[in-house]
């Protein structure tokens, strides 16, 4: 894994800072079957609707965000998770500052 020290307790939220008006990301792992990415959304930022190339587990690390999955809208908060199935259209819009971790299972 990139950017992670083996055998140490970490505070993953501290790995990525917010940038005013932007979304920042940090790739922690990327191999044939898995992609692990941390993202930090400044207030009132978001991702446009898109479909993931594989099943994804989104873990909210800090703050809140509105997640649109197909026609369903959810508010996700720190400590909560949501599963996004490959191919389903979704987006993320921060509700204040928001950090998340994505675990993307790649199709082989």
pLDDT, tens only, 68-95: 999 999 999 999 999 999 999 999 999 9
Across residues 5-28, what is the average pLDDT? 91
What's the chain look like in SS3?
CCCCCCCCCCCHHHHCCCCCCCEEEEEEEECCCEEEEEEEECCCCEEEEEECCCCEEEEEEEEEEEEEECCEEEEEECCCEEEECCCCEEEEEEEEEEEEEEEEECCC
pLDDT of 108: 63
Confidence of residue 5 (pLDDT cuts 50, 70, 90): confident
Confidence of residue 6 (pLDDT cuts 50, 70, 90): confident
Residue 18 above 70 pLDDT?
A: yes
> In whole numbers, what is the pLDDT of the chain averaged over residues?
93
Residue 16 above 80 pLDDT?
A: yes
pLDDT of 106: 85
């Amino acid at each position: 894994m990139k950017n992670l020290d083996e055998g140490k307790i970490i505070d993953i939220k501290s790995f990525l800072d917010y940038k005013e008006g932007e979304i920042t990301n940090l790739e922690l792992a990327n191999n044939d079957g898995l992609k692990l990415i941390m993202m930090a959304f400044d207030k009132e930022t978001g991702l446009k609707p898109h479909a993931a190339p594989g099943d994804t587990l989104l873990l909210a690390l800090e703050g809140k965000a509105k997640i649109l999955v197909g026609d369903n809208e959810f508010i996700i908060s720190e400590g909560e998770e949501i599963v996004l199935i490959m191919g389903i259209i979704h987006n993320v819009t921060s509700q204040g500052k928001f950090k998340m971790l994505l675990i993307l299972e790649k199709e082989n």
